[in-house]
Every structure is written in structure tokens, then in C-alpha cells.
Amino acid sequence: MSGKTILVWFRKDLRIHDNEILAEAVRKGKNIVPVYCFDIRQFQHTPFKTKKTGLIRAQFLLESVADLQNSFRKAGGELIIKIGKPEVILPELVSKYQVNEVYHHREVASEETRVSADVETALWKLKINLRHFIGHTLYHKEDLPFPINSIPDVFTNFRKKVERDASVRACHETPEVMNFPDNLESSPLPELSELGFNENVPEDFRSVMKFKGGETEALKRMQDYFWGTHAVKCYKQTRNGLIGPDYSSKFSAWITLGCLSPREIFWEIQKYDQIHGSSDSTYSLFLELLWRDYFRFMFKKYGNKFFQKTGFKGVAPEENENQHELFERWKNAETGIPFIDANMRELNSTGFMSNRGRQNAASFLVKDLKVNWLWGASYFEEKLIDYCPANNWGNWAYIAGVGNDPREYRYFNVLKQAMDYDPDGEYVRIWIPELSKVQGSLVHQPWKLSSAEQSEYQLINYLNAPQYAPEFVVEKLKDKKNLV
Ligand SMILES: Cc1cc2nc3c(=O)[nH]c(=O)nc-3n(C[C@H](O)[C@H](O)[C@H](O)COP(=O)(O)OP(=O)(O)OC[C@H]3O[C@@H](n4cnc5c(N)ncnc54)[C@H](O)[C@@H]3O)c2cc1C
């Protein structure tokens, strides 16, 4: 062991399992100084008047940082927690603890990479090296069968070549012993109010599950999903579900903050397959993780184009003249289409929305209401508990037709989708109790009820809202041929 002190700068890698920067710092250094900075810029407003981080995700982040701090405390150390700009804070800590080198994981989106560049410049002035690691994906960038710029724009082409020519590396060992400087400061966890929130975190009993941040909860969830309920066994059949904890893995919020390593999940899948035999379900879960890799690599390939209306296709979708008003209705779950409103209510109340819901809500905003898709993506950025730049903007660009969808014009008929994925209307009734008395799938089209039925079912609260079933949308939905 050398006499080095290494500062480990945690960002979206809030775990001690399969964490290369930590494993390598422990291996190389005499002492480690673990640090997390709440970058205040992440709690400000966007140009679209949404917040960069909403209340529910902020709470999840606090829990995740607290759990990491706890892990270091158990190992006899500390996690230094600061609020401010990393490019200011890290050089101060480097001087205070006589740090020799700083380790961090590279990010892909521009704001995050700009912060790394600023940290690098600030450290350079102290003649300290910022060492970059790559550690967010299933496949290591260096193991891909093509350079980033040549990655195919069609996922299937990427998948086929990666599956044939690349392999997933083993996980890094969790360090058993860690050494810390004696004078490591103890930091209190910030209050939500210090991050600009004055309201309480909402709790909704209808949430698909109770999400608690941190590696401990993430590993517990993985254990339960594989070995407790074995829900992973039917992932392929259930993944388009809308209700409850087990129709999909619900790993996303933990993966996004790095509380759970995608590689760890990959090796858990292998273990599961060895015992129970490989299946379409475990393969499908792997494919979704591969989609995540793909969007991340696409972000490296196309950079800020994912934040532009034209994406990387060059032609922006059409926009309505009254799009401001339509956007407000969409955000507030007042479109008059119950399936969309139910999904938006779920998002607003819990921070989560199923993949099926996200596809429909996004498509409806872009293709039916014809609202600027960047506004929708920004709104998701604020609200989603699992927001991650590449996944969010990559998926939105895909749906807006300016990203990785090879199909010319993909259209989600939200009424058909509602009937297919919520055939009895159970999901809609959970989120729109005003419609609870409407039987069966009619709940998706309450405007079809007679006025006598409408008053019998007391639909007044929902139907009399100003948004009620915009005629032009309903008409359009009926006519669509190109259904998904
Ligand atoms: C408009 C839109 C916005 C989205 N924004 C985000 C986002 O900000 N953050 C995010 O993590 N996912 C996003 N997704 C992808 C997907 O909806 C969520 O990852 C998934 O619903 C989370 O639930 P789960 O963990 O149970 O997923 P599962 O179905 O169990 O999938 C397992 C994991 O695979 C990854 N994954 C699944 N689907 C996708 C996908 N379509 N693209 C990329 N990765 C995927 C996630 O890491 C997920 O946790 C978005 C999808 C759409 C259509």
C-alpha cells in the first residue's frame, strides 16, 4: 500500500458494492476521503420553468446519501457531505486532508461533464489529478465492438453486435477494510429546506411501492424481486403492467443514483438462470438494462442534440398554437382522457409512472396535443423519482420521432392502449376515484355515457372540469390507422 490519500468523489454511484472508484482507492491508497456534494445547481429552475429536482426525488437522494454515510460509519469512517459547488468544495478538502489524487466516475450529460471539467481545472491548479473512471453501464465502453461514434442509431443493430462480440465484466469486490484519516469531519445530512423545499414529502397509499433511497434498500429489493417473490420469472408477461410492486423490477430509482449496479443485476440474472433455467423473462430484463446502456452511449455520441427540439434527426415535430394551455392541462392531469390523467396523477403524487404510462403520456403530449416535447421531458425531469438524463431525454426524443426510433411515424392510440393494458379500467379507477362507479372499460370513455348515467354515477366532478374530453383529440383517436 502506498502512502497516498485519495478523495473519492461520489456522484451517481452511491454504493460500496461493485464500485470501482472505491475499490481502486482502497487498493491504491493509505487513506480514503469519501465526499458527496449536493450541487445546488441541481435544485434550481430550468429554462422551461420546471425544477431540476422535485421534492420526491430530493428526499430519495437524501436517503441514499444517508445510507452511504452509514456504510462508511460502520467501516469506522465518515462520508463528508457538503452543499455547494464541487469545483469549490473539492479543492478545499484536498488541501485540508492533504489529498494526493481524486477519483470519480465520468458522467455523460453536458451539465455533469461541465462540472467534472471545472473540478479538473480547479484541482489542476493545486497540481492534483482528477482520475476518471467509467462505471455506470453494464458493458464497459472499452469493451464495445465499435467506437462510440460508430454505434448504430438502431437499437437492434447495436444489440446484436454487442451480444455477439462483447461481454460483461465481473463486479468489483466490496472492500472489507477501509482506512480513513483520523481527523475526518462528521457531516450532518442536510434538511430538505436547505435544498430549497419547504413542503412535506407527500405519501400516497396508492403508490406502486414505498421507495426508500439507498444501497441497503436497493439490495433488499433485488433480493426480494429475484429470490423472495420470484417475480422476475414472469417479467416478460407482466412488464407492461400498471398496478403494484411486481409487474416490473422497480430498480430504476436506485440504478439512477447508483445505489444498485446494473452489473450486479446482470450477474444476479445469471445466477437465477443457472438455478431456474434461462427464460424469456430474465432475458427481457437484461434487454431493458441494455436499452439503458444504449441511451447512455447515444448521449456520448450525440451530446446536446438530445436537448434540442430537432434531436439528431433534424426536423422538430409540429406544435399547436395554444400549446401553453394544453401543456398546463397535461401537467395537471386535466386532459379529459382518463388513462392519461390517471398516469399524470400517479406521477404527480408518487414520482413514479410505469413504462407503458410514460410512453402514452409522452406520445399524447407530442402527437395529440402537439406540445413542444422539451417541455414534457423537463416536466418528467422534475417529477420522476428515477430521472436520469440519458434515459429520460433519450426516450422522449424516441417518442417525439427525433431520436432512435427507426419507424417513420409511430403513434400510440391512447384509447386503444388504455383498453389493451387496463381492460377493466382498474388502474384508472385507482387514480380517478371520481370515475369509480363507471363499470368496465367504459371508464376510459366516460363521454359515451348518457347524461342519465353520468348523473347516476356522479361524474360531475370529473366531467365538469374544464378539460373534459377535448373533442378534437377524441375524434382524431378514432380515425387513426397506424395503431401501436
Ligand atoms: C418518456 C419516457 C421517459 C423515461 N424517463 C426515464 C428516466 O428518467 N429514468 C429511467 O430510469 N427510465 C426512464 N424511462 C424508461 C422506463 O420507463 C423506466 O426505466 C422504467 O419504467 C422504470 O421501471 P422499472 O425499474 O420497474 O423498469 P423495468 O421494466 O424493471 O426495467 C429494468 C431497468 O431497465 C432500465 N429500463 C427499462 N426500460 C427502459 C427504457 N425504455 N429505456 C432505458 N432504460 C430502461 C431501467 O434502468 C429499469 O430500472 C423513460 C421512459 C419513457 C417512455
Q: Domain residues of the chain, as ranges?
A: 1-135, 137-170+215-302, 323-479
Kindly tell me if the per-residue pLDDT of 375 is higher than 90: yes
pLDDT of residue 406: 87
Kindly tell me if the per-residue pLDDT of 471 is higher than 70: no
Residue 335 CA to ligand 1 center (angstroms) comes to: 24
Mean pLDDT of 62-73: 98
**Residues 431/346, Cβ–Cβ less than 8 Å:** yes
Give the position, in ligand 1's atom list, of the atom nearest the Cα of 396. 1
DSSP code per residue over 395-439: HHHHHHTSSS--SSS----HHHHHHHHSTT-HHHHHH-GGGTTS-
Burial code of 342-371, b = ≥16 C-beta within 10 A, e = fewer? bbbbbbbbbbbbbbbbbbbbbbbbbbbbbb
348 band by pLDDT with thresholds 50, 70 and 90: very high
| DSSP code of residue 241 | -
Cα 142 to its chain centre, rounded Å, is 24
Q: CA 433 → CA 352, 425, 428, 430, 437, distances in Å?
A: 19, 11, 8, 6, 8
Give tens-digit pLDDT for 298-315.
999 999 999 999 999 889
Give the position, in ligand 1's atom list, of the atom nearest the Cα of 262. 47
Kindly tell me if the per-residue pLDDT of 36 is higher than 80: yes
DSSP reduced 3-state for 102: strand
Side-chain half-sphere CA neighbours of 403 within 13 A: 29
Give the position, in ligand 1's atom list, of the atom nearest the Cα of 249. 30
Give the position, in ligand 1's atom list, of the atom nearest the Cα of 387. 8
pLDDT of residue 410: 85
Kindly tell me if the per-residue pLDDT of 48 is higher than 90: no
CA dist., res. 318 & res. 373, Å (int) = 10
Q: Which of 3, 360, 336 is nearest to 347 (CA)?
A: 360
CA dist., res. 180 & res. 93, Å (int) = 14
CA dist., res. 303 & res. 110, Å (int) = 7
pLDDT-above-70 percentage for the chain: 95
**Residues 459/439, Cβ–Cβ less than 8 Å:** no
Kindly tell me if the per-residue pLDDT of 71 is higher than 80: yes
Mean pLDDT of 377-392: 97
Instruction: Strand 31-38: give its sheet, edge to edge.
Output: 80-83, 31-38, 5-10, 101-105, 129-133
CA dist., res. 469 & res. 466, Å (int) = 9
Architecture of domain 323-479: Orthogonal Bundle (1.10)
Higher confidence at residue 345 or residue 460?
345
Residue 430 CA to ligand 1 center (angstroms) comes to: 22
CA dist., res. 255 & res. 381, Å (int) = 16
Which of 11-20, 40-49, 161-170, 395-404 is predicted with the least confidence, judged by mean pLDDT? 40-49
Q: What φ, ψ does residue 38 adopt, rounded to 5°?
A: -80, 105
Residue 462 CA to ligand 1 center (angstroms) comes to: 30
pTM of the model: 0.96
Residue 252 CA to ligand 1 center (angstroms) comes to: 6
Q: What CATH number has the domain spanning 1-135?
A: 3.40.50.620
CA dist., res. 307 & res. 322, Å (int) = 22
Q: Whose CA is nearest to atom 30 of ligand 1?
A: 249
- The DSSP bridge partners found for residue 36 are 10, 81
pLDDT of residue 12: 97
Give the position, in ligand 1's atom list, of the atom nearest the Cα of 239. 29
Give tens-digit pLDDT for 400-456.
999 999 887 888 999 999 999 999 999 999 999 989 989 898 999 888 888 888 888
Give the chain's mean pLDDT.
93
Higher confidence at residue 336 or residue 158?
158
Mean pLDDT of 362-383: 96
Mean pLDDT of 447-469: 71
Q: Does domain 137-170+215-302 have CATH number 1.20.120.530?
A: no
- The DSSP bridge partners found for residue 104 are 132
* Dihedral angle sign, alpha carbons of residues 99, 101, 104, 107: positive
**Residues 388/295, Cβ–Cβ less than 8 Å:** no
Q: Whose CA is nearest to atom 49 of ligand 1?
A: 252
- The DSSP bridge partners found for residue 103 are 8, 131
Give the position, in ligand 1's atom list, of the atom nearest the Cα of 289. 34
CA dist., res. 363 & res. 400, Å (int) = 7
Q: Whose CA is nearest to atom 23 of ligand 1?
A: 250
Which of 206-215, 252-261, 399-408, 420-429 is predicted with the least confidence, judged by mean pLDDT? 399-408
pLDDT of residue 116: 96
Residue 355 CA to ligand 1 center (angstroms) comes to: 6
Which cell numbers in the block locate residue 242?
Answer: 400498471
Kindly tell me if the per-residue pLDDT of 468 is higher than 80: no
What residues line ligand 1, using a CB cutoff of 6 Å? 239, 248-252, 255-256, 285, 288-289, 291-292, 295, 354-355, 358-359, 362, 380, 384, 386-388, 391-392, 395-396, 399
- The DSSP bridge partners found for residue 80 are 35
